[in-house]
């Protein structure tokens, strides 16, 4: 059991060092402040002993201890009269300075907590956005939100508690030393009783930790459920499934309440019983001093005050132990999440390159194959060349690998074999930020911010100028729509663009892509939600862009790709047809020819 406890202590130390090691200097400063704060209070309390001499009028009966004698010698050293007024001024001065030190102590403590929250939240968000796509695609909805908004704050509470209890421990040691100079017996009995309290309550601490682990996991599950519900609110209402979702959420909320109630009962039970125990102990000390010893009044008052302070600090340490048991699972959650995100960081130093982006000739695919972790091979030995400025259409059945092909170009995924080259250079050797800055992507499922149309087009990129936004708006045939709005570009689109039609959302996404003036434009079913008229506008825009940038288009509507320079047909991960649309139409047995006849 002892070795097990030592192992737990070592584990807790390593965990806090990993998490809060960057705040070592501040914690040392708090230790120093706590020492002087406790020392000043202890000296002030001991001044009660000589203070009572002015009322009792009997030095011999009052006696004295080491610190009380030091106070008298200190007055003599300063050539100050040892009188009641000067002693009272001395005591008031000590406690005033102690209060100022406490104020500064609390300021540093709060600053440590808030700085930790800021830096950790920023770091977690950054590492998440820098993580690679396969890792991110495995994360549950709402997980990051829970880690940042719940786990980080609970971890910050633990850091603040550590900072505060550095002072508590320091003050407790000072009180202990001073109390020993007055009465070794009473002080040792106080320590024994305090240790006994810890031993009695230790099993409850383990129970709190286990329930806190369960609560931390439940927090993530509740956040996931709420985010999914909000994201799918329209389909939930359309299918009349409100009561089913409410039933699931009520189950989670009820379980959450039960866990927190149990944790609260145990925590309050442990803290509440320390106070009456201390009162009973102090009463016994007073009774013993009154009937069995020749305690002087000053010493008795001082020792009672110190015992009360020691019990208050023991109670505080007990509360700290509860906070540790409660918050350690949250700290572990933050560390685990951050370490995983860092491990899958796609912008690590080893992935950086000084090779410039150069696109003067072609983008080529040489024997490219890819399979997901499930083992399903999506693309098989794909090879073809896209000349600079060409417009290439990709068609095929759903699930044939077209979107995966785009993910490889975007470098969201890496080929298992083969290579993608631009002007003969492996695209994996180009800095990923530089690569993506030259590519624009319009997905089938449009993502819009709950912000203005203007901010949705620039996507928070302050380098994009107003004239570039207006240029992109014209090309996406969005100009007339924006002009008719009361607030124009400043119109709020709502959560995920809920206030707009599907076609309007799609055209904003296209404008967002064009505003960057990319060298390569990827359109993944980008016209799927457009009406016939809007699709015609976008097709005209694509025609205007031909030769100005390289365009790759995935489409099921053949009208969108009918003007492509080259059409590539993918089926079951293989290229089964390629050529000019007009040439492929000559053979009615081709995939393109069959689908063209069906759609027309």
Indicate if the pLDDT at residue 9 is higher than 70: no
**Distance (Å) of CA 401 to CA 208, 380, 397, 520:** 50, 9, 9, 20
Same domain? For 210 and 134 the reply is yes
Average pLDDT over residues 191-197: 80
Inside any domain, residue 15: no
pLDDT on residue 132? 87
In order, the DSSP letters of 5-20 are: HHHHHHHHHHHHHHHH
Average pLDDT over residues 471-488: 87
Average pLDDT over residues 158-164: 81
Burial 455-491 (b: 16+ CB within 10 A, else e): bbbbbeeeebeeebbbbbbebbbbbebbeeeeeebeb
For the chain, report the end-to-end CA distance as a whole number of angstroms. Answer: 80
Token reading at 4: 């097990």
pLDDT on residue 67? 60
Same domain? For 156 and 256 the reply is yes
Contact assessment for residue 390 and residue 566, using Cβ atoms and an 8 Å cutoff: yes
pLDDT on residue 63? 45
Query: What domain count does the chain have?
Result: 2
Inside any domain, residue 11: no
Same domain? For 333 and 378 the reply is no
d(CA 107, CA 577): 71
Average pLDDT over residues 239-253: 78
Contact assessment for residue 269 and residue 291, using Cβ atoms and an 8 Å cutoff: no
**Of 311, 344, 377, which marks where a domain is finished?**
344
Residue 423 φ/ψ, nearest 5 degrees: 50, 40
Inside any domain, residue 12: no
Inside any domain, residue 253: yes
Closest by CA to 40, choosing from 92, 90, 94, 86, is: 94
**Of 309, 344, 379, which marks where a domain is finished?**
344
Same domain? For 261 and 372 the reply is no
Residue-wise pLDDT tens digits, 358-405: 889 999 999 999 998 777 788 999 998 999 999 999 988 888 888 899
**Of 288, 312, 344, which marks where a domain is finished?**
344
d(CA 581, CA 593): 9
Average pLDDT over residues 189-194: 80
Domain CATH code at residue 153: 1.20.1560.10
Beta strands 417-422; 391-395: pairing state: unpaired
d(CA 539, CA 532): 10
Same domain? For 381 and 514 the reply is yes
**Whats the size of the chain, residue-wise?**
600
Same domain? For 304 and 407 the reply is no
pLDDT on residue 573? 87
Same domain? For 326 and 385 the reply is no
Global confidence as pTM: 0.75
CB under 8 A, 24+ apart: contacts of 575-584: 575/382, 575/383, 575/384, 578/384, 581/393
Cβ-in-10-Å burial (0-12, 13-18, 19+) of 135 comes to middle
Give the three-state DSSP class for 325: helix
Q: Where are the alpha helices (DSSP H) in 425-580?
A: 432-437, 453-458, 466-475, 479-484, 502-514, 532-545, 558-561
d(CA 164, CA 161): 5
**Distance (Å) of CA 516 to CA 441, 465, 470, 492:** 10, 10, 12, 22
Same domain? For 371 and 340 the reply is no
* Of residues 373 and 456, more confidently modeled: 456
Average pLDDT over residues 233-242: 65
Burial 357-366 (b: 16+ CB within 10 A, else e): bebeebbbbb
Indicate if the pLDDT at residue 61 is higher than 60: no
Residue-wise pLDDT tens digits, 289-340: 666 655 566 666 667 777 777 777 777 777 777 777 778 888 888 888 888 8
Average pLDDT over residues 32-57: 67
Domain CATH code at residue 586: 3.40.50.300
Token reading at 16: 């806090």
Inside any domain, residue 247: yes
* Tokens 């682990």, located at residue: 213
Q: How many CA atoms lie within 13 A of 69 on its CB side?
A: 7
pLDDT on residue 388? 92
Same domain? For 340 and 371 the reply is no
Task: Put the strands of the sheet holding 417-422 in their side by side order.
Answer: 377-387, 362-371, 417-422, 425-426
Residue-wise pLDDT tens digits, 263-298: 888 777 766 777 777 778 777 777 776 666 555 666
Mean pLDDT (the chain) is: 80
- Give the range of the structural domain holding residue 531, as residue numbers without chain letter: 362-599
Indicate if the pLDDT at residue 62 is higher than 50: no
Indicate if the pLDDT at residue 538 is higher than 90: no
pLDDT on residue 65? 55
* Of residues 414 and 77, more confidently modeled: 414
Share of the chain above pLDDT 90, in %: 12
Inside any domain, residue 5: no
Inside any domain, residue 175: yes
User: Within a 10 A sphere around the Cβ of 5, how many other Cβ atoms?
Assistant: 10
Same domain? For 367 and 336 the reply is no
Indicate if the pLDDT at residue 539 is higher than 60: yes
pLDDT on residue 502? 75
pLDDT on residue 2? 37
Residue-wise pLDDT tens digits, 510-527: 899 999 889 999 998 877
d(CA 364, CA 383): 7
Share of the chain above pLDDT 70, in %: 86
Indicate if the pLDDT at residue 184 is higher than 90: no
Average pLDDT over residues 403-421: 92
d(CA 528, CA 45): 80
Inside any domain, residue 18: no
Same domain? For 291 and 370 the reply is no
pLDDT on residue 457? 92
Beta strands 417-422; 425-426: pairing state: antiparallel
d(CA 326, CA 213): 8
pLDDT on residue 421? 93
Same domain? For 56 and 149 the reply is yes
Task: Put the strands of the sheet holding 391-395 in their side by side order.
Answer: 439-442, 520-524, 550-554, 391-395, 566-571, 574-579
Confidence of residue 60 (pLDDT cuts 50, 70, 90): very low
d(CA 394, CA 567): 6
């Amino acid at each position: 059991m002892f070795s097990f406890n030592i192992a737990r202590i070592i584990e807790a130390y390593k965990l806090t060092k990993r998490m809060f090691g960057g705040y070592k200097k501040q914690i040392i400063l708090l230790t120093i402040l706590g020492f002087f704060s406790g020392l000043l209070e202890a000296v002030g309390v001991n001044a009660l002993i000589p203070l009572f001499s002015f009322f009792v009028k009997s030095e011999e009966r009052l006696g004295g201890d080491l610190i009380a004698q030091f106070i008298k010698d200190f007055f003599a050293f300063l050539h100050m009269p040892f009188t009641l007024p000067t002693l009272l001024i001395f005591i008031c001065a000590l406690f005033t300075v102690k209060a100022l030190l406490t104020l500064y102590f609390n300021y540093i403590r709060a600053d440590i907590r808030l700085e930790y929250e800021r830096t950790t939240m920023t770091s977690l968000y950054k590492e998440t956005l820098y993580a690679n796509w396969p890792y991110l695609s495995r994360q549950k909805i709402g997980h990051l939100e829970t880690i940042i908004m719940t786990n980080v704050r609970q971890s910050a509470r633990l850091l603040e508690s550590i900072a505060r209890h550095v002072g508590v421990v320091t003050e407790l040691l000072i009180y202990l030393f001073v109390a020993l100079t007055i009465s070794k017996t009473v002080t040792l009995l106080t320590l024994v009783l305090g240790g006994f309290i810890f031993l009695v309550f230790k099993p409850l601490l383990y129970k709190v930790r286990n329930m806190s682990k369960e609560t931390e996991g439940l927090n993530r599950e509740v956040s996931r459920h709420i985010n999914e519900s909000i994201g799918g609110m329209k389909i939930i209402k359309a299918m009349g499934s409100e009561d089913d979702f409410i039933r699931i959420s009520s189950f989670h909320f009820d379980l959450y309440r039960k866990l927190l109630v149990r944790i609260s009962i145990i925590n309050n039970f442990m803290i509440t019983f320390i106070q009456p125990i201390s009162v009973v102990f102090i009463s016994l000390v007073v009774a013993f001093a009154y009937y069995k010893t020749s305690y002087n009044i000053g010493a008795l008052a001082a020792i009672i005050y110190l015992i009360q302070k020691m019990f208050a600090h023991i109670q505080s340490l007990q509360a700290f132990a509860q906070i540790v048991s409660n918050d350690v699972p949250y700290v572990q959650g933050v560390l685990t999440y951050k370490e995983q995100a860092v491990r899958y960081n796609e912008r690590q130093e080893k992935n950086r390159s000084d090779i410039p982006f150069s696109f003067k000739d072609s983008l080529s695919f040489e024997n490219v194959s890819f399979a997901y972790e499930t083992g399903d091979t999506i693309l098989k030995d794909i090879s073809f060349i896209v000349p600079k400025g060409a417009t290439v259409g990709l068609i095929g059945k759903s699930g044939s690998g077209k979107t995966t092909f785009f993910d490889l170009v975007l470098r969201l995924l890496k080929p298992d074999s083969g290579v993608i080259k631009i002007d003969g250079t492996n695209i994996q050797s180009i800095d990923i930020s530089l690569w993506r800055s030259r590519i624009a992507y319009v997905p089938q499922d449009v993502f819009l911010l709950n912000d203005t149309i203007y901010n949705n087009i620039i996507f928070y990129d302050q380098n994009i100028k107003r004239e570039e936004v207006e240029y992109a708006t014209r090309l996406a045939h969005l100009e007339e729509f924006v002009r008719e709005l009361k607030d124009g570009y400043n119109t709020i689109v709502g959560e995920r663009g809920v206030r707009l039609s599907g076609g309007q959302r799609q055209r904003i996404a296209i404008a967002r892509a064009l505003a960057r003036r990319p060298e390569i434009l990827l359109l993944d079913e980008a016209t799927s939600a457009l009406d016939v008229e809007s699709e015609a506008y976008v097709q005209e825009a694509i025609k205007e862009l031909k030769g100005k940038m390289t365009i790759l288009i995935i489409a099921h509507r053949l009208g969108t790709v009918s003007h492509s320079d080259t059409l590539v047909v993918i089926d079951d991960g293989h290229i089964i047809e390629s050529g000019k649309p007009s040439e492929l139409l000559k053979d009615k047995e081709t995939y393109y020819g069959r689908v063209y006849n069906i759609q027309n």
